[in-house]
Structure 1
Amino acid sequence: MAGHDRFQNALAALVARAVPRHGAALAAYGPHAEEHTAELTRLFAHKLGYAPATLTAYQAAYALTTYDLFGLDDSDGHFWWCVEQLCRNAVFSRQLRHAP
């Protein structure tokens, strides 16, 4: 349970820091989404002690499991955010490039 509390505390601190800089939605779908995602990934990696590659793997897994959960079409931006996550991820983008 201590690890979970550590995660929650670190997440709360990061959100408190990120929201004023990136807006309430953390600009996940905006024109600077890739830079914001990279910055937040670095912050999480540093605060939580994870390798950035581990967190990008989690982001890709989240994208794979949630790409169709937020709307009936792609107008909410989440589907395209998921596509971008997978295209930027080294493991998944390599698979996409070598698909038959």
Structure 2
Amino acid sequence: MTTTTEATEATEATEATDVITGARERIDALDDRIIGLIQERMAVSAVVQDARIASGGRRVNLSREMEILAHYSEALGKPGTSLAMTLLELCRGRI
């Protein structure tokens, strides 16, 4: 025979599993949106680079990249700087 404690623990375990499953599905959906936004950012960055090169400028604007790094760092701390570096590399390639 199942005790009240065992039944409560089983219910709590099932509820936890449901919460985890739902949260993971939401995370997966957010990751898909983030990837889409990064791809969009890459396309916009390519437009900027092309326009800059066509007007006689350089492919990369280091002062602008420093602004981006500072923005991410202020918003997310030190990991934000790493994230921004990765985004910049994805969007302009290695320099």
* TM-score for both structures, normalised by structure 2: 0.34
Bigger relative contact order, structure 1 or 2 (CA pairs below 8 A, ≥6 apart): 2
More helix by share: 2
| Larger radius of gyration between Structure 1 and Structure 2 | 2
